Structure 1
Amino acid sequence: MAATKPVRLSGKHRRARASERRATYGEVVTVGEFRALWLGQGLSLLGDQLAQVALALLVYSRTQSALATAAVYALTYLPPIVGGPLLAGLADRYARRRVMIMCDLIRALLVAAMAIPGMPFPALCVLVFCVVLLSAPFSAARAALLPEILEGDRYVVGSALQNMTNQAVQMLGFAAGGALIAGMGPYRALALDAATFLASALILVSGVGRRPAPARDDAGRPSMWTMTRAGAALVFGDRRLRTLVLFAWLCGFYVLPEGIAAPYAARLASGEIEVSVVTGLLMAAMPTGTVIGAFWFSRFVTPSGRLRAMGWMAMLACAPLILCALDPPLPVVLALWVISGVGGAYQLAANAAFVQCVPAERRGQAFGLVQSGLLAAQGLGILIGGAAAQELGPEPVVALAGAAGLAMAAILAMLWTESRSDIIARVRAEAT
């Protein structure tokens, strides 16, 4: 291959890059509808984290099995494989606000049933499955509604703020979850989760305005199956979108450590620190890093700079996990997982680029397909990781996941370099 000369930016291009305007958190928070989405999501997520910690500790204390613990944790990711892509189309078929409210109300009822003392464990698993299944249309509707509320770089900053809040809530829920559940018990934690879904529905009713459904004509509405096929053709028929989807699904590699945090903690805990405390610290490490990374990435990097750095950040999300093969002590493991979380902030840029490439009236189905695949990738990764940890131990499994993720991230970074130019040009035009 012939050598190429370094490209020098003309004065016009340098001025364009310098003049890219970054939205601020202050101007995003002043939007009332965004505040409603932001607060409702944070409340329901906090309840979910308490429920996840309760289930993880309950199963591991009963079975002492890494595979069983990972299987229950994976149950919170796998339902979208069954119905997520189909149900996500509801966000384009009906008014998105209504879809979100109905999903919250139904989930509140299901989780309230889970909180009944003496609920058989198999029935509890079925209820968990149904609750997570309903997250597909809710998440698709919320993701499709957000670009209508926030435009341009405000969408990226709003997404970053939501992401930081979600990760902070996860960090708080995981870190304090063990101690709280020890005091309140798992059933009360589930009752609190049901209450957060009700609170989210009330916030949406009062804080988000009514909008018509994207498909207004009942006679002309395609079937759910037709919409699902059309959404899949849109997402996977475009090279840029395929690459962005694979960037999103890459998290299946670097989220795996959270699924085997309990058995990993059992190896790291000493006599002075309980396993439940170490489990919470490990599960909080990556969300902590993501909060740091999302703040830095959205506040100090230009819109086009985020797109350029996406491949490097994706590799950073996976590379630190390889060092877990050296069996480091707890402080080092926590630091490695925090750094991995920092790299995971690349998802903000991937999400913004995805919005640029998908028509507004089809965003619900498109986001739903990606979100379903995202949860499926995480669930399968955790399930496979749990089975491998049962045989090999948690440390080598985390390292192998990091190595495999790094190789995939490097390939995606090269593919992205070839297809990002037009998206960067569009983002610059909006930001100037």
Structure 2
Amino acid sequence: MAGRRRGATWSAFEVRGFRMLWLAGLLSVAGDQLARVALSILVFQRTGSAALSAATYALSMLPALVSGALLSWLADRFPRRRVLVVCDVVRAALVALMAVPAVPLPLLAALLVLVQLAEAPFSAAQGAVLPELLGARYEAGQAVQQVTTQLCLVLGFAVAAFVVTGVGAHAALAIDAATFAVSALLIRAGLGRHPPPAAEPDVVVATWWRRSWRRVAAGAVVVGKDRTLGTLVWLGWLALFTVVPEGLAVPFAHQVGAGGGWIGVLLAAEPAGAVAGALLLRLVARPVRVRALGVLAVGTAAPLAAYWTQPDLGTALALLFVSGLCSAYQVTAGATFVQLSPPPVRGRALGFARTGMIAGQGLGVVAGGLLAQLAGPATAIAWAGTAGALVALAAAAAWSRRRPDAVSAALPAEA
């Protein structure tokens, strides 16, 4: 049984379009880790401020508040390959500008915001294409993406600090720009057009602004009317608490007296746990995975509450690994959400969910940075873990009322 399940997990690679999207995504993830570490270290070295370092990290998330609302509908209006390629080309050009050494920090921050504005339509288009490509293999494909992306995060974070130290922050940004360019080429060559589903006719007298918000609101309305989808979104948005250690990795390493190289190890600990958790979850039946969503959500936040003890580096790494191990529930939660969303508004519904998650993570990192400035990084992480565990308990109770076994039975059969 376990052997058949492992074979089904990797069967997504039989689909050429998936292989291209997968490889393009890994390139972009690897480059992004270089850019994030480079900017965080650069700001902390120049300012010595935990709040500003966290705020810089959060700039890779907060623009989703605007881009998701205004731009994710593009995935349901234009051919999805075109959306993916254009977003990558735009991001490659902007990051290339960031790599110019003469660019001051305020302009770097502004360019980073523009880069992230392109994330919402890219993610919405990617999320809408995958179910079409994979069909019954969709959750297997999601698991593959989660495992390999987290592995890329582990390796990327582990070496990013050394790379930034060796080649410099601006060279690291140039590498990031190159990954977006290669991603665009892969998607253009390896993915079909994937035209969007027939859209509802526009009202001629409506302004572009109203039309944009109406399209996005359609996804929010779908989620709001379906309690199961709403609870799945709630479970996903718990990441706003558990992302805080990531945003505070640089000041926490400074607090415990760790060298610069340990910043990457701190950032890699949670993704390493997520890889292990995703592999373990694929060994059990889907009804068990769906039923365990609430328990694992609590297990993701609870270890961070142990930061009240002001842990040393080794203990912190262990806590982050356990948190990541439980966070693998996000694979099943995300796949279940997509498969239950109506296809005509799937791109917008997914854009709404991802927008809230990314924006929530950005706000969580900013709040954690401000608290760290006042009470220290470890205390800020402890507050995030305690609050996250309490909210996760409420989400777990709500999920148990959604009858997880019935939800699992309503999903398409696994490949």
Superposition TM-score, scaled by structure 1 size: 0.91
1:364 aligned residue: 347
Mapped to 2, the partners of 1:91 and 1:383 lie a distance apart of 29
Q: Which structure's CA Rg is the greater one?
A: 1
Pick aligned residue for 1:412 from 378, 392, 395: 395
Mapped to 2, the partners of 1:232 and 1:165 lie a distance apart of 30
Pick aligned residue for 2:221 from 224, 229, 233: 233
1:180 aligned residue: 163
1:31-430 mapped onto 2 (5 Å cutoff): 31-152=15-136, 154-215=137-198, 223-270=211-258, 274=259, 276-298=260-282, 300-419=283-402, 420-427=404-411, 430=413
| Cα RMSD for the two superposed structures | 2.0
1:96 aligned partner, one-letter code: R
Change (3 A) 1:21 1:56: closer
Change (3 A) 1:430 1:180: same
Percentage of matched positions with identical amino acids: 44
The number of residues matched between the two structures is 408
Cα offsets for 1:270-292 (capped at 9, x unmatched):
5xxx2x21211111111111111
| 8 Å contact kept, 2:129–2:194 | no
Deviation at 1:220, TM superposition (A): 8.0
Deviation at 1:213, TM superposition (A): 2.2
Which stretch of the first structure deviates more once superposed, 215-224 or 225-234? 215-224
Change (3 A) 1:431 1:156: closer
- Secondary structure (helix, strand or coil) at the match of 2:101 reads coil
Mapped to 2, the partners of 1:349 and 1:368 lie a distance apart of 18
Gaps of 5+ in 1: 1-16
Deviation at 1:171, TM superposition (A): 1.5
| 8 Å contact kept, 2:139–2:414 | no
Cα offsets for 1:167-208 (capped at 9, x unmatched):
111211211111111111111111111111110011101111
1:236 aligned partner, one-letter code: G
Change (3 A) 1:155 1:23: farther
Mapped to 2, the partners of 1:147 and 1:258 lie a distance apart of 30
| 8 Å contact kept, 1:95–1:214 | no
Change (3 A) 1:21 1:42: closer
Deviation at 1:133, TM superposition (A): 1.0
Cα offsets for 1:316-349 (capped at 9, x unmatched):
1011111111122211110110010011101111
Deviation at 1:312, TM superposition (A): 0.9
| 8 Å contact kept, 2:218–2:349 | no
Mapped to 1, the partners of 2:303 and 2:238 lie a distance apart of 15
2:233 aligned partner, one-letter code: V
Superposition TM-score, scaled by structure 2 size: 0.94
